[in-house]
Structure 1
Amino acid sequence: MTVVIALRCVDGVVMGSDSQITDPGRGLTYPDQKLHPLGKRAAWGGSGSRAVLYDLEQLFGAEPESILEADDVGRALQARAVPVLNHHYENFIEKVPAQESSGATPATYLLAAGYTRDQPFIVDIDPHGLIGHHEDTGFQAIGSGAPMAQQAYTLMENFNMSDREVNYGLLGVLRVLDALAVASPSVGGPMDLCRITPDGAHHLSPDEVAEVRDQVSRWKDREQRALDGLFD
């Protein structure tokens, strides 16, 4: 299971992902990077075929600024992603001799977020190549863990994360990721976080993620104290 999340805050965007890769064909799980830089003021992540995502990482890494400077970031991503998707779909061997299932599929989702022309964007591309814009809703998740992420985020709706600064957004995204890690054994750390403002994107180090998790613990403790005194 994979989950990649993007959250719009009042002064920026936060992206987060788990790092556990599941290979059902070989019965393996291993950590891998799912969040990648997209120029200086954006980031992207993907879910699905590792072969497709590898090809896209090379493409996006070679010309990130031309993507961000395009009139429509979604269409710029689409123009690069669809030929790669088509190539893998056309060359996908669905049935392998002497093997019931390869356990693989070229179907891939992409999620990118950041700033272009000082305006925030949250864009996804589905396996059909269709573009989704989520700047207005302020939250999007992709991957097999996306439905659970949406539910977890809905439970925090009363905290109005989209009206808070990115420091609060980091807490919300990490809390969702950690909740999914508890609920599903196929979501696992280390968790990756990226904070993006008009000044630039910053991918948090493991120590910085640990500091965010400490703040999440303080948040939970205060919630517990508020609940304990609710009927006093």
Structure 2
Amino acid sequence: MTVVLAVVCRDGVVIGSDSQITDKGRDMTYPADKLHPLGELAAWGGSGARSVLADVKRRFDENSAAILDAPDIGRALQEQVLPILRHHYETFIPDVPGEAGGGTPAAYVMAAGWRNGEPWILEITPSGMIGHYANIGFHAIGSGAPMAQQANSLLSHFHLTKRSLRFGCAAVLRVLQALDLTSSSVGGPFNLCRIDAEGAHHLDKDEIEVVSDIVGRWRDAEQAVIADIFD
């Protein structure tokens, strides 16, 4: 199971992901990075066929400047992804003798960034459609997306779009940790990237540990309030 999610904060965007890959055809799981730089000003993640996403990464790495400088970033992303999808759809062999449930060449791509004082969160679906989610303030892709959407709804009273990137990182990590507890196929280490007017910063292991400590204090504070009200 995969989950990549992004939230809008008052001063930027946070995008995060788990790192657990499920290979149904071989009945195995393994760790892999799902969150990648898109130049120095944005980040992207993907869900679905790994061969497709590997080609997407190569194209994005080569063309990040052109994508981010384009008047319409969504169309620019679409122009990069569509030829890759078409190639894999045309060459895919669905019926392999002796192998069942080997997957499909379908893949979802989500990218996020901050430009001209405004956030953007865009998705390219397996059919090549462009989805815009910055005005919603949240989006998730992957098989864990429905659970992430539910977790975001449970946190809606915190009004993430009015809070800082620091809080946004904690909220995204808390959602990822909750999914880790509820699904055996979502797992760490988790990846986080915070994006603001100065660019995209991918948190390292030590920085994510600091955020995890903040999440722990957040949980403890909630428990203290509940005890004070009800006990």
Under a length normalisation based on structure 2, what TM-score does the superposition of the two structures give? 0.98
Aligned to 2:148: 149
Aligned to 2:86: 86
* CA apart distance, 1:204: 0.5
Q: What letter corresponds to residue 228 of structure 1 in structure 2?
A: A
Aligned to 2:98: 98
The CA distance in 1 between the partners of 2:150 and 2:208, in whole Å, is: 23
1:218 paired to 2:231? no
Unaligned 5+ runs, structure 1: none
Deviations along 1:81-123, whole A, 9 cap, x unmatched? 0110010011110000232x15221110011000234432100
Q: What letter corresponds to residue 55 of structure 1 in structure 2?
A: D
The CA distance in 2 between the partners of 1:38 and 1:98, in whole Å, is: 39
Deviations along 1:161-188, whole A, 9 cap, x unmatched? 1110100000000000000010000000
The CA distance in 1 between the partners of 2:42 and 2:196, in whole Å, is: 9
Is this contact kept in 2: 1:5–1:139, CA < 8 A? yes
The CA distance in 2 between the partners of 1:197 and 1:114, in whole Å, is: 7
Deviations along 1:108-151, whole A, 9 cap, x unmatched? 00110002344321001111000010111110000000000000
* CA apart distance, 1:229: 1.1
* CA apart distance, 1:231: 3.7
Aligned to 1:31: 31
Runs of 4+ in 1 over 6 A off after TM superposition: none
* CA apart distance, 1:159: 0.7
1:160 paired to 2:150? no
1:110 paired to 2:73? no
Aligned to 1:230: 229
Deviations along 1:35-88, whole A, 9 cap, x unmatched? 000011100000000000000000000010110111111110001101100100
The CA distance in 2 between the partners of 1:151 and 1:72, in whole Å, is: 30
* CA apart distance, 1:27: 1.5
Aligned to 1:60: 60
Q: Which piece of structure 1 moves more, 129-138 or 110-119?
A: 110-119
Aligned to 1:189: 188
Under a length normalisation based on structure 1, what TM-score does the superposition of the two structures give? 0.97
Q: What letter corresponds to residue 162 of structure 1 in structure 2?
A: T
Q: What letter corresponds to residue 167 of structure 2 in structure 1?
A: Y
Unaligned 5+ runs, structure 2: none
Number of aligned pairs? 231
The CA distance in 2 between the partners of 1:105 and 1:95, in whole Å, is: 11
The CA distance in 1 between the partners of 2:130 and 2:25, in whole Å, is: 30
The CA distance in 1 between the partners of 2:230 and 2:137, in whole Å, is: 34
1:202 paired to 2:190? no
